[in-house]
Amino acid sequence: MHDVKLKNMSFGEPLIVVPKEDFGKLVRYGGKAKNLAIIAQNNFHIAPGVLLSDTVHNKLQLRGRRYLSLDDETYEELHSALRQLKIHDSPLIARSSAGIEDGAEHSFAGMFKTIRNIRFEEIERAINDIYSSVFNPMLETYSRLRKISIQNIRIAVLIQEFIKTDISGVIFTRDPIFKNNEKILIDYVLGDPEGIVSGTKTPNSITLSRQYLNNLDDTLDNYVLQQNLPGSNSKILSKAIKEALRGEELFQYPVDVEWGAKDNQLYIFQIRPITT
Q: How many helices (H) and strands (E) does the chain have?
A: 8, 12
What letter would DSSP give residue 236?
A: H
β-partners of residue 262 are 265
Pairing of strands 183-190, 204-209: antiparallel
Q: DSSP for 55-94? A: HHHHHPPEETTEEPPPPHHHHHHHHHHHHHTT-TTS-EEE
**Rounded average pLDDT over 174-191:** 89
Provide the phi-psi class of 124: left if phi over 0, else alpha when psi is between -120 and 50, else beta: alpha
Residue 107 has pLDDT above 80, yes or no: no
Structural domains of the chain in order of their starting residue, each with its CATH number? 7-161 (3.30.1490.20), 167-273 (3.30.470.20)
pLDDT tens digit sequence for 223-265: 777 777 665 678 899 999 999 999 999 999 999 999 999 999 9
Q: How far apart are CA 160 and CA 92, in angstroms?
A: 6
Other beta carbons within 10 angstroms of residue 101's beta carbon come to 21
Q: Give the predicted TM-score (pTM) of the model.
A: 0.86
What are the φ/ψ torsions at residue 65 (nearest 5 degrees)?
-115, 25
Q: What confidence score (pLDDT) does residue 26 get?
A: 54
Q: What confidence score (pLDDT) does residue 168 get?
A: 93
pLDDT tens digit sequence for 3-22: 555 554 455 568 888 887 76
| Exposure string over 227-257, b if 16+ CB within 10 A, otherwise e | eebeebbbebbbbbbebbbbbbebbebbbbb
Q: How many CA atoms lie within 13 A of 223 on its CB side?
A: 20
Q: What confidence score (pLDDT) does residue 53 get?
A: 86
